[in-house]
Structure formats: structure tokens, C-alpha cells
Structure 1
Amino acid sequence: MEQKLSNAGLRQQVIFWLVVLVLVIGFLFLFSSILLPFIAGMAIAYFLDPVADRLEMLGLSRMMATLVILIVFVLVFALALTLLIPVIISQFNDFMLHIPGYVQQFQQFVENTQNTIVPEWIRSQAGALKNNLSSIMSDGLGFVAGLFGQLWSSGKALVNIISLMVITPVVAFYILLDWDRMIAKVDAWIPRDHVATVRQIAHEIDQAIAGFIRGQGSLCIILGIYYGVGLSLVGLNFGLLIGLFAGMISFIPYVGSLVGLFLAVSIAIVQFWPDYLWVGLVLAVFFTGQFLEGNILQPKLVGSSVGLHPVWLMFALFAFGALFGFVGLLIAVPAAAACGVLVRFALSRYLQSDLYYGRSATGPASRTKARTPEK
């Protein structure tokens, strides 16, 4: 009888959480066009909550700490938007215009280089290389054009920009101000029989999200600034654009550095060859960046692991982006972290359940015996 009640309670919990999941997905589908400023505000508040807690420890009230943090954040963001965005847009437009010329010059470089430097089979594939590069560039341009088209083609583009500039700081302010109270209120709603388990799961999800968003986000910003400044000082054309792009996608291990290295070295060969020194300096910028990332920044900012496998992360970005658009890209990492923690929890429970051991091993003693091989 007790086993039946337990199974009935388990079924009720499964049904309840499935209904909640369906409602959340339906909510995202229905309101995805207006969720951007609210999700951005929540992300900013989550990112800045540790700073607010430290200011409170120094004696500031929560209200004053929130005001100081958001004022500084908005000023820094506005300054970066005013100074950086025009330069990035200008370099991006010039880069798009110069791509065909760079591809042609790179083909000529391959054809004219001596066999002692470039093997014959590479030179013999120069035509195929050009076609492949052209295809890759056209596909990339099509993706970028489609992305910007989705952002700008609709009549809601201006509304989205205004809402980001106006609504996001307001949402961030109120959520950051009431963060601790909201957490306490949600904690009070948890069924008392499951409060310890739910708190443990929530703690693991918070660790995964915080380690990735706060740690990896800071890492991407630092690497983007380093690569952008380093390549610009070397004198590489579009160095700032390539460096910022490489840093921005560094949250996917190895992808950011490899893509940035490929773009930077390709342009450096066309721009500087046969001056080996400057090509070597471009390589040195990326090798130094990889050393700093792997030995200093990654251990300090992110830690050994945040529980997000690179393949799972890329799948989440593609899946949520396809389902919910740009909003899906914003929630992909937190959702992937939460799903990863929940899957590991479900797997651990399964490995301790009768479904795994069978009905013959129903008690802890029999399970221990089942695990221990006979001598």
C-alpha cells in the first residue's frame, strides 16, 4: 500500500513538472517578441548581484548599492556604445567589401610560393581553395545578413531598441534591488518534504550558471579586449574587429581562438607577406592569449569545470536559437546548465532505484551486496 502511494506521488510530481515545462515553453513562444528587455534586465541583475552584496558588506544599503552599480554600469555601457560601436560597424563594412580581394590575393600567394614553403599539393588545389573560401564567405555573409535582417526588417526594430535602452535598466534595477527577497519568497514556496533536495539542485544550477555567465563572460570580455588591442598594435587590418569577435565566441572552447587565428593569419599573410616578422607577431598575440587563458584567466575566473560540455553547449545554442530566435540565444546557456544539472540528478536517482537494480534488490543492504562482487 505504501509503495502504491509512493508511486502515485511520483506520478503526480512528474505530471506537475511536465505541465510546468509545457507552460514555460508556450509562454516563451507566445511572448518571445517582447521578452528581450526583461531577460536582458534579469541577466544584468544576476551578473551584478555579487557586487551589490559586497557593497552591502561595506555598509551601503541595498538601495544605494543598486543605484551605484547600475549608474556605473549604464555609464560604462553608454561610453562603450558611443566609442566602440561606430568603429566596429565601420570595420565590419570595410571587411565585407575587402573579402573578395583577400581571397584572390591569398590564391595568388599560394600559387607564387615556392615548393619549399608550401607543398605542391596545396598549390595544385588553389582553385578549389578559392571556391571553398568563396563558398564559406558567402554562407557566412548570408547568415549574418539573415540575422541582421531578422533584427531590422520588422517594424518592431525601433521598439526593441527603445525597450532595450529604457526598460532593461528599470527591470535590472528592481530585480537587483529585490533579489534576496525574491529568492527567500521562492524558497518559502518549496514543499517542505523536498526542500533540501530542491535547494541542492538550485545551488548546483546557480554554480553552473554563475561559473559560466560571470566567469566565462568576464573571460570573453578580457580576451576580446586583449586580442583587439594586440592585433591593432601589430597593425593588422580589421584587428579590432577580429580580436573582439574571437573573444566574444571564446565561450566555446577552442572555437574562438581557432577562428580568430585563422582570420588573423590569413589577412596577415595577404597584408604583410613576405615580411615574416609581422605574421609571427600575429601568431604571438594568439599564442600568448591562449597561455593567459589556460593558465591564469580560466582557473581564476571560471574554475575547473562548470558542467557544460562544449558539444552540449553548441547544441543548446543552435536549438534554442532555432526555437526562440535571439531570445533563445540569451537563455540557451542558463537552460543548458539547468538541464545538465537536472539530468545528472535524475541519473543519480535512477542508479539508486529499483528500476536499475530490479525488484529483487529492494533494500540498502541488498543493493550494497549487489554492488559488492563475491570473492
Structure 2
Amino acid sequence: MTRQHIWILLGLAAVLWLLVLLEPILMPFFISMILAYLGDPLTDWLEARGLSRRLAVSVVFLVLSLALGLAVLVMVPLLGRQLGQLIDALPAIFNWVQGTVLPWVREVSGIDLSTDFESLRQALMANWKETGTFAAGLLARVSRSGLALALWVANLALIPVVTFYLLLDWDRIKEQVRDLLPRRLEPTVTRLALECDEVLSAFLRGQLLVMLSLGIVYAVGLTLAGIQFGVLIGLLAGLASIVPYLGVIVGLAVAALVAFFQYGDLVHLLGVGAIFAVGQILEGVVLQPLLLGDKIGLHPVAVIFAVMAGGQLFGFTGVLLALPVAAVIMVVLRHLHERYKNSQLYDAGAHLPDNGDDA
């Protein structure tokens, strides 16, 4: 290992150490970076059609703000109402499981789960009842700490400001970073950066739009079918769709259980199955080809591991960083694999004579 490589490793270690120290204040900046990354293609598109960069950024920023504001105004009350209905329905659900499901399990398998379920039911009901008290106490503690409340409000206020300026200078920042690269490494680093952008765009733009579209399809379909908690189930299935087939499995299982508990007939179960079948057809025929194309995304196992590892190491900031870092690591490993396959080390011994054949 050369001295240059040692300095590079020391620099990376110093950056990682600095990120750990600054983790409490990094969240708004990383959220702003993600929003700016998502909005940059639309900004470039508007700029190519004659708008100035500042005007294009203002238009994109206004569109993002209106979309987020509308989503908050519509979804928060609806989700709050459905969560309240779910809490109110919990006693009836527990009674149904205790009176119907557990006797069936005992009859089929001979296993009596009544005692364990009763303990679980009491623990869950106690926690649900204390949710409001806990939230009120947490809010009171935050309110008593003026500094903590001020920092929280400041972090929220920073997100739109930092997003606007990052989006305004996004292309300039990329060019400046590119100019700082050593000329010998610039072509390779640029190629790797383009590959990273391809992977990230598949997830942060394409896959998020696929998840949002599927969540809307499932939520609207379940609501029109009269299934309780349709919006909650639809959004849960949409979020879980970041891993292929996980969204439809989770959503179908939960929706079918709710439909059976609510109506107890086969018609609504078939309706739930039809809704998720339509969602899968739309995903395979329309959404994925249109929004993802032939981009190669991260492997589902890599997505799960990256998100869990990021959350374990750096909390919420680590979750935000998980997919970008995983994409970079995957592209670098792919590049190293390609160099290894083309190296003399890989070909060593391939052209040596076979002693067995000579004999």
C-alpha cells in the first residue's frame, strides 16, 4: 500500500468520524440533498426550455411545496381518523381472535394459546390506552426545553431554505467537484458517478414513484370496496413495495384479514384479491417500464440490509444515507469485480498445460 493510499484511507476515516460527531445536525441537510436530487431533472428540463435557473428552481420548489402541503392537509386527518377507528376496533378484534381463531387452532393442532394471547392482549391494550398520555408527556417535556424545541423548529425551517439553494447550485456543485478530481482519475470517477446516479435514480425517483402509485391504487381500491382502514393498508402495502412482492404479500394478507373480519363472506375476499391483482398488473405492465425502464436497481436484500444498518449506526440520518451509500458501494464493487476479471490474477494458471493431458 502506497503512502497516497494511506492518506486516502485516513481522509475517509476522518470524514466518517466527523459525520458521527455532527450526526445530530445533519438530518435537515441530507433531507434537502435528497429533495434537491429529486427536483434537479425537472429543473434542468425547464431550464432547457428557456427559463432561467432561478426561475426554474422557483417553479420546481413551488410544485414540491404544494405537493407536500396538499399531501399533509389531505392525508394527516384521514390517517388520524383511521388510526382512531383502528384503536376503537382493537377490543372487538381481540375478542374475535380469542373466541374464533384460538379454539380453531386448539382443535386442529391441540395447542392451547389462550393464556399467552391473554397476556399479549392485556399488554397491547395497556400500551394503546397509554399512547395519548405518552404523547402528551413527550410534548410537555419538549415544550419545557426551550433549546430543544428551538433546534427542532430550526431544523424544519432549514429544510426548504437549504433545498432551494442546493437546487439552485446543483449543476455548479457537480462541475466544481469534477474539476477538483485528479485528471488521471477523472474519467473513471465520472463513469462511476454516472452509474451511481443510474442506480439512485431508479430508487429515489423511479421506485418511490412506483411505491406512491401502488399505495394510491391499493388505498383507493380498498376504500371503494368498503374495506375498513383501506388508506392505512394501501399506504403500508405501497411502502413495503420497496422490496419486490413484499408489498402485495403484506397488503393482501392484512386486507383479506380485515375483509373477513368485517364481512365474513367470500365476495369481499375475492374483491380484495382482484384489487391487488390489478395493482400487480399495473406495476408490471405500466409503472415499472415507464418509471424504471431498464435501470438496474439495488438487490432487495441489499436494500433491507442497508436501511437496517444505517438506522443502527446513525439513526434516522443513517436511514436517509443508507440507499445512496449502498448504491455507491455496489457500483464500486461492480467496478472492482470488472477489473479483477480483466486482471492477470484472474487469468493466472488459465493457460498452463494440464499434466494429466500431457501424460
The TM tier, using the shorter chain, reads 0.7 to 0.9
Residue identity in the other structure for 1:65: A
Deviation at residue 169 of structure 1 after TM alignment: 0.9
| 2:43 corresponds to | 52
| 1:285 corresponds to | 275
Query: Is the 1:103–1:133 Cα contact (8 Å) retained in structure 2?
Result: no
Residue identity in the other structure for 1:180: D
Deviation at residue 331 of structure 1 after TM alignment: 1.1
CA–CA separation in structure 1 for the residues paired with 2:228 and 2:159? 35
Matches within 5 A, 1:56-95: 56-95=47-86
Indicate the larger mover: 102-111 or 181-190: 102-111
Residue identity in the other structure for 1:348: E
Residue identity in the other structure for 2:238: G
SS in 2 for 1:252: coil
Residue identity in the other structure for 1:44: L
Deviation at residue 106 of structure 1 after TM alignment: 3.9
> Which one of 12, 24, 31 corresponds to residue 4 of structure 2?
12
Deviations 1:298-340 (A, max 9, x none): 1221234534111111011111001111111111111111111
> Which one of 144, 148, 160 corresponds to residue 169 of structure 1?
160
Quick check: 1:28 aligned with 2:19? Answer: yes
Matches within 5 A, 1:182-261: 182-261=173-252
Residue identity in the other structure for 2:108: W
CA–CA separation in structure 1 for the residues paired with 2:269 and 2:26? 45
Query: Is the 2:98–2:114 Cα contact (8 Å) retained in structure 1?
Result: no
Deviation at residue 90 of structure 1 after TM alignment: 2.9
Residue identity in the other structure for 2:339: R
Unaligned runs of 5+ in 1: 1-6, 362-366
Count of matched residue positions in the alignment of Structure 1 and Structure 2: 343
Unaligned runs of 5+ in 2: none
Deviation at residue 256 of structure 1 after TM alignment: 1.8
Deviation at residue 87 of structure 1 after TM alignment: 1.9
Deviation at residue 126 of structure 1 after TM alignment: 7.6
CA–CA separation in structure 2 for the residues paired with 1:157 and 1:265? 44
Deviation at residue 203 of structure 1 after TM alignment: 0.7
CA–CA separation in structure 1 for the residues paired with 2:266 and 2:278? 18
Indicate the larger mover: 223-232 or 178-187: 223-232
Quick check: 1:333 aligned with 2:323? Answer: yes
| 2:335 corresponds to | 345
Query: Is the 1:228–1:244 Cα contact (8 Å) retained in structure 2?
Result: yes
- Closer/same/farther in 2, CA of residues 110 and 130 from structure 1, 3 Å limit: farther
Task: Using structure 2 for the length normalisation, give the TM-score.
Answer: 0.84
CA–CA separation in structure 2 for the residues paired with 1:160 and 1:226? 38
Query: Is the 1:228–1:241 Cα contact (8 Å) retained in structure 2?
Result: yes
SS in 2 for 1:236: coil
Percent sequence identity is 38
Query: Is the 1:224–1:243 Cα contact (8 Å) retained in structure 2?
Result: yes
Deviation at residue 239 of structure 1 after TM alignment: 0.8
Matches within 5 A, 1:101-180: 101-106=92-97, 108-110=99-101, 121=108, 127=113, 131=117, 158-159=149-150, 161-180=152-171
**Aligned Cα root-mean-square deviation (Å):** 3.3
Residue identity in the other structure for 2:95: Q
| 2:298 corresponds to | 308
- Closer/same/farther in 2, CA of residues 133 and 64 from structure 1, 3 Å limit: farther
| 1:296 corresponds to | 286
Query: Is the 2:227–2:259 Cα contact (8 Å) retained in structure 1?
Result: yes
Deviations 1:95-136 (A, max 9, x none): 2443353243245444788xxxx99737x568479849959x
Quick check: 1:323 aligned with 2:310? Answer: no
CA–CA separation in structure 2 for the residues paired with 1:324 and 1:234? 42
CA–CA separation in structure 2 for the residues paired with 1:19 and 1:100? 58
Deviations 1:196-216 (A, max 9, x none): 111111111111001111000
Deviations 1:57-92 (A, max 9, x none): 211111000001101211221122122112212322
Residue identity in the other structure for 1:182: I
Query: Is the 2:198–2:295 Cα contact (8 Å) retained in structure 1?
Result: no
